[in-house]
Amino acid sequence: MQKLLVTTTFLMLTIGPAAVAQTGNSSAKRAEPLPAPVGHRQPRADQVPENNNSAASDAEKKQDAELDRKIKSICRGC
């Protein structure tokens, strides 16, 4: 009987604080989520630079057209 009492007391002293700590403080509710760490934020539209480089896009279009011609010759009747 004494072993049971000692074991029960030991379990209550070790597990009890963990069970109380899980309840937390219910009065501290957050209205909005926490902000993401700096390296994980997605940029907003006003933070992204505009890419108005039409010369690069013309060169890319020429390369794409040349690649399309080469690929078309690979595939026969597909």
Per-residue pLDDT of the chain (78 residues; tens, 9 = 90+): 889 889 988 888 888 766 655 555 555 566 788 877 777 778 888 888 877 666 668 888 899 889 888 887 676 666
Q: Would you state the pLDDT for residue 12?
A: 81
* Positive/negative CA dihedral, 25, 28, 29, 32: negative
- The Cα 10–Cα 16 span in angstroms is 10
Q: Would you state the pLDDT for residue 69?
A: 85
- The Cα 48–Cα 54 span in angstroms is 17
Q: Would you state the pLDDT for residue 70?
A: 84
Q: Would you state the pLDDT for residue 54?
A: 65
Q: Would you state the pLDDT for residue 31?
A: 76
